[in-house]
Amino acid sequence: MKPDLNKKPFHILVLDDEKSIRWVLDRTLTQAGYTPHLATNTEEARQLLSKHSFRLALVDINLPGLDGLSFTREILQKYPTLLTIVMTGQTTMYNTVEAMKAGAFDYMSKPFNINEVEELVKSALRVPYLTSENKGLKKVKPADDFMTGKSKIMRNLYKSIGRVAAKDLTVLIQGESGTGKELIARSIHQHSLRSEQPFIAINCAAIPSELMESELFGHEKGAFTGATERKLGKLELASQGTLFLDEIGDMPLRLQSKLLRVLQEKQFERLGGHKLISTDMRVIAATHQNLETLISKSKFRKDLYYRLNVFPIDIAPLRERREDIPLLAEHFLRKGSKEMAVSYKAIEPDALNVLTQFAWPGNIRELENTVKSLMITNVTETITLESLPKNLFKSQPITNSGETLEDLAERKLELMVKDAIELGRDCLMAEVLPQLERPLLRLMLEETKWNQQKAAKILGINRNTLRKKIETLGIKNQRSMQK
């Protein structure tokens, strides 16, 4: 029975095995003027669905027995006009993408923001009464997430991947260098119906223009000097799979017209050949350039742009989603530990704060390279503030006066040392010492006018230990040197 969308209250199904979650959603939806119906398991949910005409269902992913994603697929097969919002306490790219592929209207993570729940429900109930398209979806085995992040920007990106992955549309990914455009393309392929077929990538900026045509189309033996045997091109290798054209903005105009014809006709010829070769491939293109600007300068074909820009995805630079930096840093620490066979390193809070505040002009690629470098150069098990590259401090003003993180850290440390001396407190720095050893020792010695006995007492170490640390860390008495 088709519900009357102009009449309230709307009936909303809530399926969650946690009593507290059901209580919160029951109260929130009731106060918003809706009629919630609560279910603790899928069997109760099925009974409610048979008795009431629901417009919206809130379904938890982690359910006993049948999981929420499988149940979402099941109920959308039987009730194709039902809108579903998937809920989970584990916000991962895989869960989000699979929820969108299952036909879910949207996705929200626990713990809930009540205002966001109300807005999400309102937006769902504004959707026209349409039939959901969720047939023919292939279940993908969970794998390590290609991308990491829980910011709103990343959650929306996951949703976009989920919505387009199984639709076989051409995708254009735009974003700065180092933002992970190829990772997005691979994720789309992994969650698509072509996931078991080849993913073929070609960087249009890395291959000389005179070789690009052969790389794309392939060639026959004797097609040109040096063509000693037949070579299959990327277009042929990607048939039934996905062709990823990275930095499409750098493709020569001559080849742009040939590529456009392939996209239109699904056929091409190898260089030096006369046989038409059919190809059935999905195309995903990416660029860090503004293609519309290139079009205005006659450097990119407008018709090719329209052909590629069927489903656009814009990926934000890392500086616009700083809340993802701690997660990315942790991901790269674990990844680097496996790849380089080195012990796992922890990042102290102050050092992590510096990483979070930095603008990262090279985006995720620069962050990954920095973390890997720190894992190699750090001999201890902790990456400290002192071990970070100087450029991470000096380029990052954080106050109106232009004070850098390095300046701020040193100023705070000076205050800590002065307070310790004035209060005459022993061992105040015992826990901080392993992390901030060199700058702490240097400042303490300067404040005590290089009275090593007094400095050692405040630091909670004996004088011989302090003397060894001064020698090991290479701390010099600048005043005596100037004399």
For residue 254, report the phi and psi dihedrals to the nearest 5 degrees: -60, -40
Q: Is residue 258 within 8 Å of residue 271, measured between CB atoms?
A: no
pLDDT on residue 145: 45
* Burial 241-269, CB ≥16 within 10 A → b, else e: bbbbbbbbbbbeeebbebbbebbeeeebe
Give the model confidence (pLDDT) of 76-93 as tens digits: 888 877 888 888 776 566
Tokens found for residue 208: 């000389």
pLDDT on residue 478: 63
pLDDT on residue 403: 44
Question: Rounded CA gap, 396 and 200, in Å?
Answer: 39
Question: Rounded CA gap, 284 and 352, in Å?
Answer: 35
Q: What's the mean pLDDT when you consider all of the chain?
A: 81
Supply angle C-alpha 139, 245, 261, rounded to 5. Answer: 105
Q: Which domains does the chain have, with CATH numbers?
A: 11-154 (3.40.50.2300), 168-316 (3.40.50.300), 319-394 (1.10.8.60), 405-482 (1.10.10)
423 Cα distance to chain centroid: 47
The radius of gyration computed from the CA coordinates of the chain, to the nearest angstrom, equals: 30
DSSP-derived pairing of the beta strands 11-15 and 56-60: parallel
- Percent above pLDDT 70 for the chain: 82
158 Cα distance to chain centroid: 9
Residue 97: exposed, middle, or buried by beta-carbon count in 10 A (0-12, 13-18, 19+)?
Answer: buried
- Percent above pLDDT 90 for the chain: 33
Tokens found for residue 53: 């005409």
pLDDT on residue 142: 41
Average pLDDT over residues 175-184: 92
Count the residues in the chain. Answer: 483
82 Cα distance to chain centroid: 30
Q: Which residue has the tokens 């010099």?
A: 476
